[in-house]
Amino acid sequence: MAQTIINLGIGHKESSMDENTLPSTVTAVTPPCMMCGDTSRIEVDRDQYLAWRRGTLIQQAFPEMSPADREHLKSGTHPACWDDMTKGEDL
């Protein structure tokens, strides 16, 4: 099965992709996590993803997603890393 990878990081190619050929689910590559530097691949609904990239607020484009998962998709910060980071701020 062909998998469509969408890179959300610097130099992403989505402007050149043909939306009509995309499968109903696409795999988004997140930017590097600001804590650990790793990127992730997250499977998302194509229409929701495209709505988000066209300017829909992420919480409206992905209403069923948890805030931590939205943050992960948007910024690349892993939910676990985000926890560590926010815990650290209590010091």
Interface residue list for Zn ion (CB under 5 A): 33, 35-36, 78, 81
Torsion sign, CA atoms 2, 25, 58, 33: negative
Q: Shortest gap between Cβ of 62 and Zn ion (angstroms)?
A: 20
28 vs 81, which CB is nearer to Zn ion? 81
Of the pair 49, 76, the CB lying nearest Zn ion is at: 76
Of 25 and 39, the one with the shorter C-beta distance to Zn ion is 39
Reported as half-sphere exposure (CB side, CA atoms, 13 A), residue 76 has a value of 16
Q: Are the CB atoms for 44 and 24 separated by under 8 Å?
A: no
* Smallest distance, Zn ion to C-beta of residue 32, A: 8
Output the smallest distance, CB 79 to Zn ion, in A: 9
Q: What whole-number distance in Å separates Cα of residue 7 and Cα of residue 72?
A: 14
